[in-house]
Amino acid sequence: MKAILNFIQNRNVILISALILAFLFPENSKYLKEYTIYILAVVMTFSTTGIKFKMLSDFKSVAKVSLQSIFLNYIIHGSIILFFAYFIFDKTIFNGFVVIAATPPGVAIIPFTYTFKGDLDYSFKGILGTYLISIILTPLIIYIFSENITLNPVIIIFVIAKIIIIPIALSRILLIKKLTNFTEKYRGKVVDWGFALIIYTAVGINRDIIFNNWIIVFKTAFVLILAIFVSGIIYLFLTRKTTNKKLQISKNLMLTVKASGFAVAVTLILFEQKSAIPAAVLSILVLLWLISLNIFYSKK
């Protein structure tokens, strides 16, 4: 019985189950769509409890790691996405890729850094720095690169406030001594099930579009595979002789992992439903990439 419960509660099982259910039983996704931003806010609140602001006291180190993380996640990863998407897709789908390029690295980097025995200090500082800078960077990228659509920057900033600023502020409450046991006990479950609901919603509401637009899905997968799998494998090859394997792991995650739940929620709020196809495919591919890394580092 215990083995069954452990299997059911496994992160990979939960997320893959959400993906399968979205394809088989997508009906309820339309009801969850309106609540996606609130689900993400709860996930972000629990996820960011690992971010400690005392890290800011080491300003030089945080600034250095933040700039490296921005270079890896926004400039390299984002440039690959925007370059290929611009020449392949129409404005509707391209807008979905713009949101992905503007999306900060996924908070899943922190637990997976721990799982893969990476450099936790680097991952914490990278997430902290990029999320603070994303308050400005994310709306700026969306505003500049969105195709043939007029977006009020205030609306984007308001969305950022809901899913980054407010959750980070609320996460401080969860760190109160009386609540730390509760936070530690349920953080993983809240994050796993929250992301599962977001993946279910993103894929479920786009199920028919995905089935009826295989060419778009394959093209989308092609661009995202380049940005995630190919760039990640090339990075591993180029750094194969490094002596600091922990840092290699953290940088590889920072390069390849975007906050797919964030991308889904922001796309659904700002653009038409079809624009969420890239974010839905991103959710699937990030999941497959993390599972692949789990196998790779387990063998190592």
Residue at token pair 């005392």: 54
Tens of each residue's pLDDT in the chain, 300 residues: 666 666 567 777 887 888 889 889 888 888 887 888 788 788 878 877 766 767 667 778 888 999 999 999 999 999 999 999 999 998 889 999 999 999 989 877 877 887 788 887 898 888 888 888 888 888 889 888 987 666 666 776 777 777 777 888 888 888 888 888 888 888 878 888 887 888 788 788 878 877 877 888 999 999 999 999 999 999 999 998 888 999 999 999 999 999 887 888 788 888 877 888 898 889 889 888 988 888 888 776
Prediction pTM value: 0.80
- Quote the CA–CA distance of 200 and 18 in Å, as a whole number: 5
Task: List, in order of start, the domains of the chain with CATH numbers.
Answer: 27-299 (1.20.1530.20)
CA distance between the termini of the chain: 31
**Residue 261's closest CA among 236, 284, 233, 227?**
284
Helices 120-145 and 91-102 pack at an angle, to 10 degrees, of 150
The string of pLDDT tens digits covering residues 27-67 is: 888 888 788 878 878 887 887 776 676 766 777 888 899 99
User: For residues 115 and 21, what is the distance between their CA atoms, to the nearest angstrom?
Assistant: 27
Q: What is the DSSP letter of 271?
A: S
Neighbour-count burial for 274-295, b at 16+ CB within 10 Å, e otherwise: bbbbbbbbbbbbbbebbeebee
